[in-house]
Amino acid sequence: MIKLEKKQGIATVTLNRVEKQNALSFTMFIELNKVIKNIKKDANIRAVVLTGEGEHFCAGLDINAVMASPINIIKLLFKWLPGNQNLAQKVVLGWQSLSVPVIAKINGNCLGGGLQIALGADYRIVHHDAKLAIMEARWGLCPDMGANVMLSGLVKRDQALWLASHANPINAQHAFELGLVTKTTDDTDKATKEMLDTLLARSPDTLAAIKRVTQQSYKAPARKILAKETWSQIRLLINPNTKKAIAKAKGKADIEFTNAKRW
């Protein structure tokens, strides 16, 4: 479900579940984590391109597939310490642990968990016709894959809050204006190649140093954010309003929410 191809110093990582618009299954989380570790150990890799097979980048989490087995939810969210990364967070923030540039090449739908994974890349090259969204709120949940660590360095606070709250897709131009997108284009292959050509003309040590210095200058309190993400998601998973939100998302319009608990 995850393809890894290494050629001329470039690692291409492809989400490959075309029949589901590359929606994320539990197996894909495991495979993505392994791929990140593989690339990290390979000194020959100079850059990474993260993309989706077919017409779409990723339609987000395959809710039915992942929630079919409750143990999978536990495995996704489990961590030894609150500030550590769980599996869901590792497939986003893991790209930031690499010392090489990571480019997300995005076509079609880039939704929910798919957008969170793309936010873990250093650059996002997006087709003009693409649609992007953080969609967890539709299901009564909150973004919990580490995207909040990345958003704090990309988007103004009120825009990040609104993006996660309305949970509706936005177009590529709007995403660019918000700061989510590095470049919009009508040819993602060409634009990605042009960026790679520029990056590969630089010293790999220079790029690694720039990436680390930039990370430090935009550093958010990651451990506190990761702990809050996971704790909030666990509370929401057992919250009665979450079940109502799921039913509402499936078309039951007469659902009424109860009053919010103290957060």
80 or 25, greater pLDDT:
25
Residue 107 in 3-state DSSP?
A: coil
Kindly calculate the radius of gyration of the chain based on its CA atoms and give it in whole angstroms: 18
Question: CB of 58 within 8 A of CB of 22?
Answer: yes
Instruction: Specify the DSSP class assigned to residue 66.
Output: H
Model's pTM, two decimal places? 0.90
Could you tell me where the DSSP H helices lie in the chain?
26-41, 63-67, 70-77, 87-93, 113-119, 147-151, 157-166, 172-178, 188-200, 204-217, 222-237, 240-249
Residue range(s) defining the domain that contains residue 95: 2-205
Question: CB of 47 within 8 A of CB of 105?
Answer: no
172 or 67, greater pLDDT:
172
Residue 77 covered by a domain: yes
Residue 27 covered by a domain: yes
Give the pLDDT of residue 42: 98
Going by pLDDT thresholds of 50, 70 and 90, the confidence category of residue 129 is very high
Residue 215 covered by a domain: no
Domain at 78, CATH number = 3.90.226.10
Give the pLDDT of residue 131: 98
Residue 70 covered by a domain: yes
Q: Which of 47-51, 220-224, 245-249 has the highest mean pLDDT?
A: 47-51
**Beta carbons within 10 angstroms of residue 16's beta carbon:** 15
pLDDT tens-place string over residues 66-121: 777 778 878 888 887 778 899 999 999 999 999 999 999 999 999 999 999 999 99
CA distance linking residue 186 with residue 57, whole number of Å: 15
Dig out the tokens for 117 from the structure: 């994974």
Give the pLDDT of residue 38: 98
Residue 242 covered by a domain: no
Considering only CA atoms, which of 198, 263, 209 is closest in space to residue 231? 263
Residue 221 covered by a domain: no
Q: What is the dihedral of CA 5, 78, 223, 135, to 10 degrees?
A: 70
Question: Average pLDDT in the 56-61 region?
Answer: 96
Residue 248 covered by a domain: no
Share of the chain above pLDDT 70, in %: 100
Query: 161 Cβ partners below 8 Å, 6+ apart?
Result: none
**Burial state string for 220-246 with b = 16 or more CB within 10 A and e = fewer than 16:** eebeebbbbbbebbeebbebebbebbb
CA distance linking residue 260 with residue 4, whole number of Å: 44
Give the pLDDT of residue 169: 97
147 or 51, greater pLDDT:
51
Going by pLDDT thresholds of 50, 70 and 90, the confidence category of residue 258 is confident
How many domains is the chain partitioned into structurally?
A: 1
Q: Which of 63-77, 186-200, 244-258 has the highest mean pLDDT?
A: 186-200
